[in-house]
Amino acid sequence: MTTPIIEFQHVNKFFGDFQALKDINFQLDQGKFYSLLGPSGSGKTTILRTIAGFNSVTSGTVLFQGKPLKNVPPNKRRVNTIFQNYALFPHLNVFDNVAFGLSIRHVPKDEIQTRVMDALKMVHLQELASRDINELSGGQQQRVAIARAIINEPELLLLDEPLSALDKKLRQDMQYELRELQQRLGITFVFVTHDQEEALAMSDEIFVMDEGAILQNGTPVDIYDEPINHFVADFIGESNIVKGTMVKDYEVEFVGKRFECADAGMRPNEPVEVVLRPEDLDVTTPDKGKLIVQVDSQLFRGDHFEVVAYDADHNEWLIHSTNPVKEDADIGLFFEPEDIHVMRFNEKEADFDARLEQYEGE
Amino acid sequence: MNTTAKRIYYIPYMLWILLFVIAPVALIVYQSFFNLDHQATIQNYVTYLTSSTYLRMTLNSFWYAFLITLFTVLISYPAALFLNQLKHKDFWLLLIILPTWINLLLKAYAFIGIFAQNGSVNQFLGFIGIGPKQILFTDFSFIFVATYIEIPFMILPIYNAIAEIDPALLTASRDLGATNWQTLIRVILPLTRKGITAGVQAVFIPSLSLFMLTRLIGGNRVITLGTAIEEHFLTTMNWGMGSTIGVVLIIMMFISMALTGEHKRKRKEIDTGATKE
């Protein structure tokens, strides 16, 4: 196995009394797209600034390609950052902004010229080289920031919520472009975001963070389908979470009924939480449904109807339906055993992974 | 709001401009075309432009104003940078501004006490065995005191310009590989250019016509245009010549304003294939 490009070993960070990072351990491999996903204050930007060199750690080790980063100043790290508000230099035009990193290193003029134009071409801005920064739209500024960061050929590119200032349509376009750029350049991207859709769409691997700790990491599909706890399930996508009991392996009880499910490896009659994704609930007639609920309201979302309904126990159910339903009508909900995801309380990620391996490998 | 109400608000401003700007300037210009015998003439300007004394005085004024401005910038810029990194920066800035609330004459007299033959500086020099020396009435003391007096007017605009810089720009500069020194030269300095020019205007132009300090601290060894005007109006009673020098000063002020003012950026290329967002 190759050396990971970045490795955190038992990293803790305190700001005064506030613990921003709690025993962070992870490894990032060369050439992948990683996302740090979490609400504000979860510590994701602190990790980014630690890698860039703008934070020191209170304890623990950060390795860059196997070597400690501790005494390397930010300007000597082969890491570049795309900042949240781009932080473009207002006194320089587009060309000089992009050329900044090269001219700092006294790269010859003609080489700067070709490399800047290549970088601008990569972000489709070659016609705007002589523009002032304040003459550009938000999307164009975003591209200048990307060109300015990649021209230094970093081993690692850090992106600090770079798309949050753009409108939705542009943000989606930029998601494709960033993903494509990452694959073309083959450098490691670490993308910080609080937007789960963004993280799911672009990443090879996602780290879900809350309150300074990494709760779960895995591929977007893993995290979406097998959230480790209530927080992750709720934060990643929309979900229906109800309390239940794991009667025995492959059988779970919730809302007063027993259902066949795909989870195992827990104590008999262990209290658990059950997740059902709104798009996994199919609307059917009451006699065919596994659950019967009464429709409360529905919203048309363009590609689906978002239905809110209540069961007899007054649990709220969110359903994504392709067809409209009648308000106040009783409807049946049908789902497959695999659609039920069972979560234990306070399960650590390592135990969770081990348990999954144990019965999924059978 | 109706227009009559608006006009009423103009009145104080108009009166001010008329009485304290237009009228005095007009009077000075008018006065400068009369000789001692109250005859209309351009003789004053001819004298000014052909006399080596006046030209030397003009150069002197420029030279001293330049030196004062230079030292003020050299002290104020690092000071403003330093102030911006302090925790209670507004408080420390206030301490620097505080002396400007005290009358210029009082400060000048205070320096006479400090620099005099038996003043505190000379007592100290005597104590360490190299004094007393002649400090008062030298170029050094004049420039020192003038610089001291002008420093707050330079620090303030520079300080504000530095405070306005988005800290993310400095982070970005470091991130792109710049050392602290390169960040200062390539990011902080260009972004505070406006603050520096504002400070230079606030210091250089008044320094051209300093006259009280030239007498009290410079001991009349330093003769600037300001001193010359005072002499003509109060001693020789040659108001015409005094006014002529006044007009010259006003013109010089406009020239230095134009030189330090904001220039339109040169670039204007036409972008044809601008990508549409």
Pairwise CA distance, residues B246 & A58, whole Å = 66
Cβ proximity of A104 and B186 under 8 Å: yes
Sign of CA dihedral A123, A125, A129, A131: negative
pLDDT value of residue A334: 92
pLDDT value of residue B271: 39
Cβ proximity of A66 and A29 under 8 Å: no
CATH no., domain A6-225? 3.40.50.300
* pLDDT, tens digit (0-9, with 9 covering 90-100), for B21-65: 999 999 999 999 988 888 888 888 998 889 888 888 888 888 999
Phi-psi region of A23 (alpha: psi -120 to 50; beta: other; left: phi over 0): left
Give chain B's mean pLDDT: 86
CA dihedral B178, B183, B185, B188 (to 10 degrees): 160
Residues of A in contact with B191 (CB under 8 A): 89-91
CB contact, 8 Å: A79 with chain B?
Answer: yes
pLDDT value of residue B79: 95
List strand residue ranges (DSSP E) for chain A, in order. 6-15, 18-28, 33-37, 59-64, 67-68, 79-82, 156-160, 188-193, 205-210, 213-218, 240-248, 251-254, 257-260, 270-276, 282-284, 291-300, 305-311, 316-321, 330-334, 341-344
Domains of chain B by residue range: 33-260
- DSSP secondary structure code for residue B40 in this structure: B
CB contact under 8 A, B277 and A74: no
- DSSP secondary structure code for residue B264 in this structure: P
Contacts of A117 (CB under 8 A, 6+ apart): A126, A129
Read off the pLDDT band of B180 (50, 70, 90).
very high
pLDDT value of residue A320: 92
Cβ proximity of A102 and A130 under 8 Å: no
- Top pLDDT among A142 and B224 is at A142
List strand residue ranges (DSSP E) for A134-260, in order. 156-160, 188-193, 205-210, 213-218, 240-248, 251-254, 257-260
* pLDDT, tens digit (0-9, with 9 covering 90-100), for B50-60: 988 888 888 88
Pairwise CA distance, residues B191 & B198, whole Å = 13
Cβ neighbour number for residue A149 with a 10 Å cutoff: 25
Cβ proximity of A99 and A144 under 8 Å: no
* pLDDT, tens digit (0-9, with 9 covering 90-100), for B91-100: 999 998 888 8
Using CA coordinates, name the residue in chain A closest to B277: A139
Mean pLDDT of B204-227: 82
Mean pLDDT of B226-251: 88
Least confident of A11-25, B2-16, B184-198: B2-16
β-strands A6-15, A18-28 pairing: antiparallel
The CA–CA distances, whole Å, from A277 to A287, A326, B164 equal 22, 21, 48
Pairwise CA distance, residues A98 & A89, whole Å = 10
Contacts of A173 (CB under 8 A, 6+ apart): none
pLDDT value of residue A54: 92
Q: Is the pLDDT of residue B267 over 70?
A: no
Chain B nearest-CA distance from A42, in A, is 21
pLDDT value of residue B209: 81
Query: May I ask the CATH architecture of the domain B33-260?
Result: Orthogonal Bundle (1.10)
- DSSP secondary structure code for residue A133 in this structure: G
Amino acid at site A164: S
pLDDT value of residue B268: 41
For chain A, residues classed under CATH 3.40.50.300 are 6-225
Interface of B with A (CB under 8 A): 166, 168-169, 171-179, 182, 186-187, 190-191, 193, 265, 267, 269, 271-275, 277
Least confident of A263-277, B128-142, B169-183: B128-142
* pLDDT, tens digit (0-9, with 9 covering 90-100), for B120-129: 888 888 888 8
Amino acid at site B178: A
Q: Which of A202, A164, A162 is nearest to A180 (CA)?
A: A202
Pairwise CA distance, residues B66 & B146, whole Å = 12
CB contact, 8 Å: A153 with chain B?
Answer: no
> Considering CB atoms only, which of A93, A100, A128 is closest to B176?
A100
Going residue by residue through chain A (362 aa), what tens digit of pLDDT does each one get?
Answer: 578 999 999 999 999 999 999 999 999 999 999 999 999 889 999 999 999 999 999 999 999 999 998 889 999 999 999 998 899 999 999 999 999 999 999 999 999 999 999 999 988 898 999 999 999 998 899 999 999 999 999 999 999 998 888 888 888 888 998 999 999 999 999 999 999 889 999 999 999 999 999 999 999 999 998 899 999 998 888 889 999 999 988 889 998 889 998 888 888 889 999 999 999 999 998 888 888 899 999 899 888 899 999 988 888 999 999 888 888 889 999 999 989 999 988 888 888 888 888 776 54
Cβ proximity of A38 and A230 under 8 Å: no
Q: How much is the pTM?
A: 0.81
pLDDT value of residue A272: 92
pLDDT value of residue B53: 87
Read off the pLDDT band of B134 (50, 70, 90).
confident
CB contact under 8 A, B172 and A81: yes
CB contact, 8 Å: A83 with chain B?
Answer: yes
Pairwise CA distance, residues A333 & A294, whole Å = 10
Pairwise CA distance, residues A206 & A219, whole Å = 6
ipTM over 0.90: no
